[in-house]
């Protein structure tokens, strides 16, 4: 009896985890790959922000995260091929219709992450925070124009 309740609960939870999201069923799964690449970027970027906000700045850890961010920053873009605007993407059509502006945002992000690397090398939390905020601003700026809420 209780075993049935447990398995029913388990099924309900696994369905909830899917949240009705559409899967990327196309060959090569470009949408899934770019979303995974952005999630990997967030996973290294977020702990940097936590460290700065909580006053637990550790220069070595921060610098190594900045290096990881730079290592991961190339990953999403190759998966934005023509004809890859389909569910479950959260990209706006402007990625493809205004490719020049999307490219400017991308270059701004590269410049901001270069500056973050340099700021991390100084080990100065004030410079680190300023550079972190600029990277944050570049994520947000691109998302405002090119990603659905």
Residues that bind ligand HEC (CB under 6 A): 31, 34-35, 38-39, 41-42, 45, 89-91, 95, 102, 105-106, 109, 135, 138-139, 142-143, 146-147
- Closer to ligand HEC by CB, 62 or 146: give it: 146
Q: How far is the CB of 70 from ligand HEC (least distance, A)?
A: 11
Q: How far is the CB of 24 from ligand HEC (least distance, A)?
A: 9
> Chain centroid to CA 76: how far?
9
Q: How far is the CB of 75 from ligand HEC (least distance, A)?
A: 11
Q: How far is the CB of 104 from ligand HEC (least distance, A)?
A: 8
- Is the N-terminal amide bond of 88 cis, ω within 30° of 0? yes
Q: Please say whether the beta carbons of 113 and 134 come within 8 A.
A: no
CA distances from 45 to 12, 70, 95, 112, 133 (A): 32, 10, 23, 13, 11
- Closer to ligand HEC by CB, 5 or 100: give it: 100
Q: State how far the Cα of 102 lies from the Cα of 86, in Å rounded to an integer.
A: 18
């Amino acid at each position: 009896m209780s075993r049935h309740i447990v398995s029913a609960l388990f099924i309900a939870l696994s369905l909830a985890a899917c949240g009705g999201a559409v899967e990327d069923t196309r060959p090569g799964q470009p949408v899934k790959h770019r979303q995974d690449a952005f999630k990997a970027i967030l996973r290294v970027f977020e702990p940097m922000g936590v460290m700065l906000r909580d006053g637990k700045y550790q220069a070595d850890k921060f610098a190594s995260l900045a290096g990881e961010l730079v290592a991961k920053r190339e990953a999403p873009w190759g998966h934005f091929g023509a004809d890859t605007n389909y569910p479950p993407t959260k990209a706006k059509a402007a990625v493809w219709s205004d490719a020049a502006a999307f490219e400017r945002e991308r270059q701004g992000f590269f410049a901001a992450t270069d500056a973050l690397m340099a700021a991390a090398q100084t080990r100065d939390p004030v410079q680190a925070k300023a550079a972190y905020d600029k990277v944050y601003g570049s994520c947000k700026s691109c998302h405002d124009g090119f990603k659905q809420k």
